[in-house]
Every structure is written in structure tokens, then in C-alpha cells.
Structure 1
């Protein structure tokens, strides 16, 4: 199974673009900070992750302010250049 759920903030957003099929697409960078337990020890986790959204989710994220806290759901894939990991966002919720 390839499913990711991540609380994060938008720290960078590119210009909304369209795929050859006419779907809106948006490239983003998200920042995440949390504390998790690993081997019975608390560990601080801080990371930035590249992400992409398509369709209505891309349009919604394009209207969302930088710095907004979100809960995103999606899956991991490879970016076009084949290096690293890209989070494909399929759903999101504002964190109040």
C-alpha cells in the first residue's frame, strides 16, 4: 500500500499550470514538524517535501495562503527527473 497522511504548511507554491490533457496541476513545497516515538524515545522530525496536486485539489491549493496548516493525503511517486520522492496530493483538509 502506498498512502501518506501528513500535517504540513505550504512554504512554496509555483504557478498553476495545465497538463497536456487539460488538467490543472500545481507544484508545491510543504514543511512538516512533529515529534514521534522511535525505539521508546521521542524524536523531533522536521522536513520539507516536494508535492504536486492535480485537478480540483490543485485549484483549491492555488487559492490557499502560503503558511496555511493542512492535513494532506496522497501517495509517493518519483518526480519527472526520477530523483528523490514526490508527494502526490489527492485530498486535503484545513487544520483549524
Structure 2
């Protein structure tokens, strides 16, 4: 199974565009920071990850406030067929209280 749940803020976001097939899509960068337990020790985790929202969710992502923290749900896939770099494909997100 390839499912990723991530609490992160929207660090950067491009403008809404359309694929040649007419599907709306928005690319961006998510920023995460947390404390995680690993081998009985607390570890500080910070990273940025490339993200993309396509289809219906792209409009919500395009209008979401930069810097706001959300709970994202999606999956990881290669950036393109010949790349080893991964991109987080957002399929849903909601605000974190």
C-alpha cells in the first residue's frame, strides 16, 4: 500500500494550470517539522517535500493560505518516468485545529 498522511504547512505553491488533457493541477512544496520516537530516543524531524494536487482538490489547494498547517493525505510517486525523485500527490487535506 502507498498511502502517506502528513501534517505540514504549505511553504510554496505555483499557480493553477491545466494539463494537455484539461485536468487542473497545482504544484507546491510542503514543510514538516515534528518530534518522533526512534529506537527509544526522541528525534527532531524537519523536511520539505514536493507536492502536487490534481483534479477537484487542486482548486482547494490553490486557494489555501500559505503557511497554514493542514493534514494531508495522498501517495508518493516518481516525478516522472525517468526520475528517482519522489513527489507527494495530494488526494485530500483538512485544517489542523
Instruction: Sort the TM-score into its range (normalised by shorter chain).
Output: over 0.9
Structure 1 segments unaligned to the other structure (5+ residues): none
Normalised by the length of structure 1, the TM-score is 0.96
Whole-angstrom CA distance in 2 between matches of 1:15 and 1:24: 10
TM-score between the two structures when normalised by the length of structure 2: 0.95
Q: Distance in 1 between matches of 2:36 and 2:76?
A: 20
CA displacement at 1:94 relative to structure 2: 0.8
**1:86 matched to 2:87:** yes
Q: How do residues 19-58 of structure 1 correspond to structure 2 at under 5 angstroms?
A: 19-58=19-58
Shift of 1:42: 0.4
In the alignment, what sits opposite 2:15? 15
Query: d(CA) in 2 for partners of 1:83 and 1:26?
Result: 21
The count of corresponding residues between Structure 1 and Structure 2 is 96
1:59 is aligned to 59
Q: Which runs of 5+ in 2 are unaligned?
A: none
